[in-house]
Structure formats: structure tokens, C-alpha cells
Amino acid sequence: MKKIQSLTPRETVAALDKFIVGQSDAKRSVAIALRNRWRRRQVQPPLREEIAPKNIIMIGPTGVGKTEIARRLAILAESPFLKVEASKFTEVGYVGRDVESMIRDLVEIAINMVKGEEKKRVEGIAEAHAEDMILDLLLPPAPDKPGSLHDAGPDGDKSFTLVSQEDTPTPVTQEHETSTREKIRKMLRDGKFDSRELEVVLDEAKSAPMVEIMTTSGLEDMQSNIQDAFSKMFPRKKKERKLKVPEAMEALKQQEMERLVDRDKVLKEALRRTEESGIIFLDEIDKIASRHGTQGPDVSREGVQRDLLPIVEGATVKTKHGMVKTDHILFIASGAFYVSKPSDLVPELQGRFPIRVELHSLGKDEFVRILTEPENALTKQYVALMETEGISLSYDEGAIEEMARIAVEVNENTEEIGARRLHTIMERVLDDLSFDASEKEEQTIEITAEYVRAQLQDIAEDQDLSRFIL
């Protein structure tokens, strides 16, 4: 199988096509940016370090696929991904160095990503360890001296053993004990003990005295650092819990997975992945664009741009896990740019986004395709949801056409929200069915154009009402 990181631009576009309809120019741009990352890694140092990422500005109205393209690209590339609303840095109480918080957030996402991968890698070993621990509780070791009670647990507590005498005869030899243990193991895997309860000893989550600091600029992560320091000073506590065997097995497996994961290895890989393949999606960047020669809020917006600039250009950000360089993080910015335009950004910031791509508004044909073609299409989602109630749901071609037509009409007459309008349309069309589905007997239901019109026509024609409902 071909490595995801080495996909050609054409292969990347084909993969994005499975989930996103249209917007071929934007797909081409992100596919090129992803491939350039792979190309850079093939270049020998020191030139490799000089090659800057090909950052992108996506221009287009809401709901046309800007965020989805970036998010799917990150999934495809197995990259840490963070979406940030650029306009949040203009809020009251904003301090410039808060901009660095997005890098710290990206590091945390990378850590969780790598940790999850490591847990999957050791899951089999952890499950085997958990099974052995359950067996130790179900079948205590052979007694040390004749006359000892078989039903005494590891601590001498008779109530600790849950295996009856008929299930497990008293072991008398090592060979016999091994044979009995394997029989109990088979019974455990067959679910014979699922109704039994066990007292298991689990690690409590790390806790430390709460230390709250009223932070100012540059002190954002001081509190978390102090919390970490305190947590290392206090040993992890143990807690006994009474759980049924399947729950005990899962709890012990999770505990073993945490123990088996090499934290230092995770942190090292997470920091590397953040620096080399991290993606930050800066949404609403048009909201911080300012027109030259104006005063008031525009001054604040330009200040935000100046604070963003070093991060995008390449800086070293201090996090509680170590220093992180932003030189090769890929930044994808987006905005509608109705009032402002990319040239209203400060020149230095403009220069750091060499790729510009415009996404067009979606029409009826695109809506029809969105409802039918993607692997995660809304129509397919509702079919799967109704199947849980024993209802076989289907749509005729006319129903799809009618929902697409009404979506376009409402977008034109109210606010343009792109494909997001389809969510409200679908919810309204299937509102009655969703409410009554649990009380219906198993049956096949087909959504027709007439049914769609009956559910939506009056609302769609009343513009005031559609603003609230659709």
C-alpha cells in the first residue's frame, strides 16, 4: 500500500473527491501544498530548512467547503489540525501574545494523536495483561499448605473469589493449576463470567492542589506548568472498584495501555509532527483585514495581523512540552472577503500566503451531487439512522432535486450559507418521520418530491418564516 504522505496531487484530489463536491481549484491547491511538504523532506539539508511552506488563502462564502477541504486534507495527511477563528483575537481583553496559544493547542492535539496511535499499537499486549489480571482474581494461586481454603483471595478475603467449586476444582499440582487456568480462560472468553462482579484496584487520575493564576500576557501556560509540578510531587492513588467482569477487563486494559505507552517517545514524535506536518486553519481572516488610513477597530485588526505575522513567518514558541518552531507549519487562511480583500492585509502577511484560490457559490447541481455522491452524504446518514429503527428509507430522484431547488431558493432569498442549508432542509423534511420512527413497525418508506413539497413549500415561500425555520 502506498504511504499516505507520498500521495501525488492527483491522488490527493481523488481522495478529497470522495467527500467534497466540486471546488477543483481549491483541491488542486491543497494537494500541491501537501506534495510540496513531501518534496521538501527529500531535499538535502541545509537547503531543506530554507524551503517555506506554500500557505494558502481560500476566498469564498460560508458553506462552500473551505473548512472541510482543510480538515479532510489533515486527515488524509495524518497531520495535527487546528481550526482557529482569527476574529477571536480582536475580542475585548485580547493580548497580543495570546496568538501563540494556537501553537500550544496544536501541540496538545499532536500529543493526543500520537498517544492514540501508540495505544492502538500496544492494545493487544495490554488486553493480554488485563486478561491475566482477571484470571488472577477469578482463580487465586494454589494454597501454600494443606487445609488452606481455596476460596480465599490474594489477601485472604474469602469474598474476593468469584469462581464456584464446581467451576474450578481445587488445584493440587502446578500442571493441574495450569490446566484449570486455561479452562477458566476459555470460559472468560466465552462470556461465562460476564455477570460476575470483581473488586479491582485501579489508578486514580492524577490530581494535585488547584493553583489558579490570573494570567496576563506571556503567562498563559504558567498555571498548567505549576499544576504539572504539583502532580509529580504527589503519588498516584489507588482505588478499589467493584465492577462486572467485562467492565473490569476494559478498565484494566485502559490502565495497562497507559502504562505501556512511552511518554517520552510520544512527546518527541508529537513535537516533530507539529513542526513538520502541523496544519492551522485560520478562519475569518477577512475580519482582521483593515483598510489603510482608517481608525478605530481597524487599528486593533492590524495589530492582530502584526502578532500573527511572526508565527506565520517562522518563530519559536515556548510550550510546557518544549520549544516548537513554526517555520514549516502549513497555514490555510479563509474568508468571504465581502467588504475587505486580501490586499487589505498587511503586505508582510500577504507575502506569506502565496497561493490564492477562490471558491464559487454552490448551485442546484452541486447540491444534488452533495446529497448523493459523497461517502458521508446526508441522505446516506439518515438512511443509516432510520435503519436502527427497522425502517428502510429511500429517496426518489425528484425528492433530491426538490430539496436542492428549495435550498438554492432559500439561500438566494435569505442569507447565503451554502451547503449548510441542506442540513436544515433535511431536518425539516424528515422531522415527522424522526419523531414517529420508534413507534412504527418495520417498513419501507420512500421520500418523494410531493412529500418534500408538502413539508417545505409553505415555509420556503414565506421569507420571514424561512429565516427562522430554514
**DSSP for 138-192, written as a single string:** HSPPPPSSTT--TT--TTS-GGG----TTTSPPP-SHHHHHHHHHHHHHHHHTTT
Question: How many CB atoms are closer than 10 A to CB 56?
Answer: 24
Output the CA–CA distances (angstroms, integers) from residue 107 to 149, 313, 327, 381, in the order listed.
Answer: 54, 18, 15, 33
pTM, rounded to two decimals = 0.78
Alpha carbons 348 and 467: distance in angstroms, whole number:
41
106 with 194, same domain: the answer is no
Q: Is 156 a domain residue?
A: yes
148 with 259, same domain: the answer is yes
3-state helix, strand, coil in the chain (%, to 5): 55, 10, 35
Instruction: Compute CA 201 distance to the chain's CA centroid, rounded to the nearest angstrom.
Output: 31
Q: Is 387 a domain residue?
A: yes
Question: Looking at the 3D structure of the chain, how many domains does it have?
Answer: 3
Instruction: Compute CA 401 distance to the chain's CA centroid, rounded to the nearest angstrom.
Output: 33
- Residue 131 cell numbers, joined: 486478561
Q: Is 449 a domain residue?
A: yes
Tens place of pLDDT for every residue, the chain, 470 residues?
355 567 899 999 999 999 998 889 999 999 999 999 999 999 998 999 899 888 999 999 888 889 999 999 999 988 999 999 988 877 655 555 578 899 999 999 999 999 999 999 999 999 999 999 988 888 766 655 444 434 444 444 433 444 444 444 444 456 767 788 888 888 888 888 888 888 888 887 654 454 444 444 445 455 555 555 555 555 567 788 888 889 989 999 999 999 999 999 999 999 999 999 999 999 989 888 876 555 555 557 788 888 899 999 999 999 999 999 999 999 999 998 888 888 888 889 988 999 999 998 889 999 999 999 998 899 999 999 999 998 999 999 999 999 999 999 888 888 888 888 899 899 989 988 889 888 887 788 999 999 998 888 777 666 665 666 66
Output the CA–CA distances (angstroms, integers) from residue 392 to 116, 368, 384, 386, 408, in the order listed.
Answer: 36, 21, 9, 7, 28
Alpha carbons 173 and 170: distance in angstroms, whole number:
9
3-class state of residue 297 by DSSP: helix
Q: Is 469 a domain residue?
A: no
86 with 52, same domain: the answer is yes
* Residue of 325, 278, 260 whose CA lies nearest to 81: 278
198 with 137, same domain: the answer is yes
Instruction: Identify the domain containing residue 447 by its residue range.
Output: 364-459
259 with 135, same domain: the answer is yes
Among candidate residues 266, 293, 321, the one where a domain is terminated: 266
**Domain with 394 in it: what CATH number?**
1.10.8.60
* Residue of 36, 74, 39, 69 whose CA lies nearest to 55: 36
- Residue 237 cell numbers, joined: 492513588
What's the CA angle centered on 147, arms 146 and 149, to 5 degrees?
A: 120
Q: Is 352 a domain residue?
A: yes
Q: Are 111 and 262 in contact (CB under 8 A)?
A: no
